[in-house]
Structure 1
Amino acid sequence: MLFINTRPVERAQALTQCLAQTHFQVLDLPLLELQALPYTAYLHQLYAQLSDTQIIVVVSPIAVDVGMQYLQESGLLLSQLSHIKWITVGQTTAKRLAEYGIESIVPEVETSEGMLSLPIFKNIPNLKKIAFWRGEGGRQFMMQQCLDQNIEILNFLLYERHLPASTIKKFTQFEQTLAKYEQPYWVCISSEASWHHWIQLTQKNQTILQNCHYLVLGERLYQILQHHSKQHQHCFKIHHIVNLDPNTVLQAMTELERKL
């Protein structure tokens, strides 16, 4: 069977290697390309406000790298942030942050909902200000939940996300070779942005869209796909997973395959 690995190039290798050792064929088809945004006067103003910020939420390894690079450019020392609690959305991001000597809190479920359920949001008295190191379009739900609780948000837009041009070309080539692959095709969708790009890719080939079994990260994304399925009368199958660890993905696919 075919697994379509939609993770960005810099995050796809571990999952591809894990599945390549099984009976699954793997097609690397990244739905997101990440590119750093420039350091601006507005970002400089945001960094200046970190001295009275209580939490920094870091959403990806690239957010760590760009955030730290711009921290240096801001003239602020990492030692001046010793009072801050750090939250990372997943273990990969936590490991990247640890390379800078920073320990972070990681939710069991690697989603916005998972982060919001962390005890830290109840344990910090008078929680007033949270910074988000993120990409364009990401973590809107979590930020809105914080705003609804009257928590001030420092919105660090550090990178933007695109559908890679190489993916569009590769997808066209994939369409021409469909006959050699056994259905269903397995696809991991890790963000709402990835899902929108997948819909964009498959808009002229609804057969592919409907012949996939989707593994989605978290309950909210699961509901988004469910809504799309009902709205457009599609019949694809959806299963949600709690993290993107290669073994988690492989285990979910193996268990679901037995039920086909």
Structure 2
Amino acid sequence: MTQTAAIASEIFRPTEYVTGDLKSGLLLLCDHARNTVPPGYGNLGVAPEQFERHIGYDIGARAVTLELAKQLSAPACLSTFSRLLIDPNRGEDDPTLIMRLSDGAVVPGNARVDETERAFRIDQFHKPYHDLIDQTLDAMIDVAAPPVLVSIHSFTPIWRGVPRPWHATVLWDLDARAVEPMLSGLRAQDDLVIGDNEPYDGALKNDTMYRHGTCRGLAHVLLELRQDLIADHAGQMEWAGRLAPILRDIATRSACREIRHFNSRTDAH
């Protein structure tokens, strides 16, 4: 940790909060909303164009999240820093929390991160994001039935030269309460190819959904939207429009508004 970075962290806001109706039944999350690096860290030694790739942030996810918050009158919690600095969708003990190499791109600014700097980044950036989620959930549960957690992500249309066929996918572990109506709602739209736990596995120990959904017994669903479909304003509005009615329906389901504890597939590892 440099002195400059320590000073900069005091003025950099690591979270973005969108005010919404605490009784809406939905809390929207966006873990990888921005590709910003706080002052004092420069560009982590990475070429600027790398930050425009998936390794820097989830392209289009923030705009879709904000539009959904508007249409659903739901609160939203978003991070404001690039995952190249630290990944808020990883547990604090995850070896990929701070990446030294990401999809072929070397990150020199992370090469010599020691335990002191790791702890500093957790305290200044990672922890405030998760604290905001916890505080918002507590406030929502104080005034209404427990909300459904909805996390918005995006994925690349091609991986290692192979096109990915899905328009959107749903990631999940063992709690299917919000997942089943989401999959049904998306698959009812005949022009879409929808994946189930593709292109990633939804069971990840101590990630955002595990920490705030599984551990708290809250219904939750993680949506992955293909980046090329939400890279511009028209696509972002289209997908918010596709998702909003499904999420409204989910928020009305009594089973989704109860605290129920499920096991995790990660427990076997």
> By the TM > 0.5 criterion, same fold?
no
Question: Structure 1 or 2: larger helix share?
Answer: 1
* TM-score normalized by the length of structure 1: 0.26
* TM-score normalized by the length of structure 2: 0.25
Larger Rg: 1
